Structures are given as structure tokens and as C-alpha cells.
């Protein structure tokens, strides 16, 4: 049984997950998560952006499985809260067409001390990469439709470190 | 038993539709058996499912291995390895 499954209510109310087409404002989200609180000592944020892959890409199109996308990220985030005693965690993942330079994903993790906040954000991203149902398709600058992005072995390895290093 | 199948990314593109309802043959008990059954339904399905080992599945929005029984699942999703983030 996972840590989160033993304390579902306590962990769940510290989790905020949003799947949306529109952009997000990282600074506003940090401010909202920490507003009115004097107990948070560390906030770590991760922002994933769309690369142009050496000038080749016009956009990435992100397809997702509605329902399961939110459910999967919420389960990972709830586990992160329980495992690292986070005070709060926010994950926003966008879908649709995103141009190079645009935001794809935001994670904000809050904890009393820095290591838990760093670990919580990294844990969530490592599991999100392999377990959250999103797929990227390339749109090329020359007007063509490119390939579906392939999953990377490095992403599986990144996730595996959380189960082998205990 | 009738189930709803949903497909994503290149699995969806190769099959040529995002979802469909099918009647499961009684001998199809697991996710792996469903994939093998679908691959016999035509060249689009064969093209999508020709390498069963790379196909990921979810039963009612929960990840499922190929040997997992379908049980009473209402919605079965088939898709490539995920590339979000």
C-alpha cells in the first residue's frame, strides 16, 4: 500500500491539479499557494517549456486523456505530499497547440524546508513524465506534420530512482 | 459484454477513430487478449497494434498491465507510451 493510500484525506486537501488549454502565471500561482501562511519555509517551482528543437518546430500539440490525466497527476501529487510531508503542491498541465517558448507544465511544491520541496517537485515530474496520459506531436516550421515524440528510457530511469534509493 | 474503447495519439491515428463500442468475445479475458483480438479486425488495427509490447492500457482510467483481467471495466483505453511534461 502506498503512503498516500494510508492518509488519503490529509494529503488530498493539500493538492491542486489543473488540466487546461490556457496559459498560467507562475508568480501568481506561487503567491496564491503561500498567501496568508507563515509556516511555509521553502517553495520550489518547475516550469516545462516547449523547445524549438534547433529551429525545426513550429509547435507541439499535446493530446491528453481527459479525466484520466487529472486523476493520474492527482494520485502522484497526493503521494508526493504524503511521502515528503509537503504543505501544498500545485500541478498545472496544458493541452492543445503550444508554440516554442510557451509553457507546458508547472509544478509548485511547498514545505517547511528546502529538501522536501525540491524532492516533492522532482518526484511529481518524474512520475508525471511516464504515468500521466499526455502525448506530444510535432508540427514543423516547413508546414508539415512531424512525428509523435517518442518516450525516453531516461524518463523511466528517472522514475526508478525513487523506488531503488530508499 | 459491450465495452467502450478509446484510443490516443498514433494508436488513434492508425485505427482511424478515437473511440468505439464493441462486444467483447467471451474468450477475451485480459488486456493482452483484447489487443490480440483487435489486431485481427483489419489492417488499420493491425498497423496500430503490430508491436503489442509497446501498447499501454488503462481500465476505467487506471493503468493496467497486459495480463490484467478486464473484469467489469466499462472503458478501456489503448495508447503509446506517454510523453507529457
Q: Give the pLDDT confidence score for residue A10 in this predicted structure.
A: 76
Of B26, B25, B23, B19, the residue nearest B5 (C-alpha): B19
Tell me the average pLDDT across B13-28.
97
Cα–Cα distance for residue pair B7/B30, rounded to 1 Å: 17
Cα–Cα distance for residue pair B59/A108, rounded to 1 Å: 30
Work out the minimum CA distance from B72 to partner chain A, whole angstroms.
18
Distance set, CA A37 to CA A34, A41, A65, A122, B42 (Å): 6, 10, 35, 23, 59
Residues near A76 by Cβ (< 8 Å), separated by ≥ 6? Answer: A123, A124, A127, A128, A131, A132
Work out the minimum CA distance from B63 to partner chain A, whole angstroms.
8
Residues of A in contact with B82 (CB under 8 A): 129-135, 151
pLDDT-derived band at A1 (thresholds 50, 70, 90) equals very low
- Would you say B81 and B61 are in contact if contact means Cβ atoms under 8 Å apart? no
Distance set, CA A22 to CA A29, A144, B64 (Å): 14, 25, 31
Cα–Cα distance for residue pair B76/A27, rounded to 1 Å: 39
Q: Each residue of B47-71: pLDDT tens digit? A: 999 999 999 999 999 999 999 999 9
Of A140, A129, A71, the residue nearest A104 (C-alpha): A129
Look at residue A148 and give its three-state secondary structure.
strand
User: Does the CB of A97 have a partner CB in chain B at under 8 Å?
Assistant: no
Q: Each residue of A77-129: pLDDT tens digit? A: 999 999 999 999 999 999 999 999 999 999 999 999 999 999 999 999 999 99
The full set of domains in chain B, from first to last, is 2-79 (3.10.20.30)
Counting one residue from chain A and one from chain B, the pairs whose CB atoms sit within 8 A come to: 71
The pTM of the whole model exceeds 0.90: yes
Cα–Cα distance for residue pair B8/B12, rounded to 1 Å: 5
The full set of domains in chain A, from first to last, is 10-26+40-150 (3.90.1170.40)
Interchain CB distance below 8 Å, A151 and B79: no
Interchain CB distance below 8 Å, A128 and B9: no
pLDDT-derived band at A2 (thresholds 50, 70, 90) equals low
For A129, which of B10, B58, B84 is closest by C-beta distance?
B84
- The pLDDT > 70 percentage for chain A reads 93
Amino acid at each position: 500500500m502506498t503512503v498516500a493510500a494510508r492518509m488519503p484525506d490529509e494529503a488530498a486537501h493539500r493538492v491542486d491539479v489543473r488540466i487546461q488549454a490556457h496559459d498560467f502565471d507562475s508568480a501568481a500561482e506561487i503567491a496564491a499557494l503561500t498567501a496568508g501562511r507563515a509556516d511555509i519555509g521553502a517553495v520550489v517551482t518547475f516550469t516545462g517549456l516547449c523547445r524549438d528543437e534547433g529551429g525545426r518546430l513550429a509547435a507541439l500539440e499535446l493530446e491528453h486523456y481527459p479525466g484520466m490525466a487529472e486523476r493520474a497527476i492527482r494520485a502522484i501529487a497526493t503521494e508526493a505530499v504524503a511521502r515528503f510531508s509537503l504543505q501544498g503542491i500545485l500541478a498545472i498541465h496544458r493541452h492543445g497547440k503550444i508554440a516554442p517558448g510557451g509553457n507546458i507544465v508547472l509544478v509548485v511544491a511547498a514545505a517547511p524546508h528546502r529538501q522536501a520541496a525540491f524532492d516533492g517537485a522532482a518526484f511529481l515530474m518524474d512520475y508525471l513524465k511516464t504515468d500521466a496520459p499526455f502525448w506530444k506531436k510535432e508540427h514543423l516550421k516547413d508546414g508539415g506534420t512531424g512525428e509523435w515524440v517518442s518516450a525516453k528510457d531516461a524518463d523511466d530511469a528517472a522514475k526508478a530512482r525513487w523506488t531503488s534509493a530508499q | 459484454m459491450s465495452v467502450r474503447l478509446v484510443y490516443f495519439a498514433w494508436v488513434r491515428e492508425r485505427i482511424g477513430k478515437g473511440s468505439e463500442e464493441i462486444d467483447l468475445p467471451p474468450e477475451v479475458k485480459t488486456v493482452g487478449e483484447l489487443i490480440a483480438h483487435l489486431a485481427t479486425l483489419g489492417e488499420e488495427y493491425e498497423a496500430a497494434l503490430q508491436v503489442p509490447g509497446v501498447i499501454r492500457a488503462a481500465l476505467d482510467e487506471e493503468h493496467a498491465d497486459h495480463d490484467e483481467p478486464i473484469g467489469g471495466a466499462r472503458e478501456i483505453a489503448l495508447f503509446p507510451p506517454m510523453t507529457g511534461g
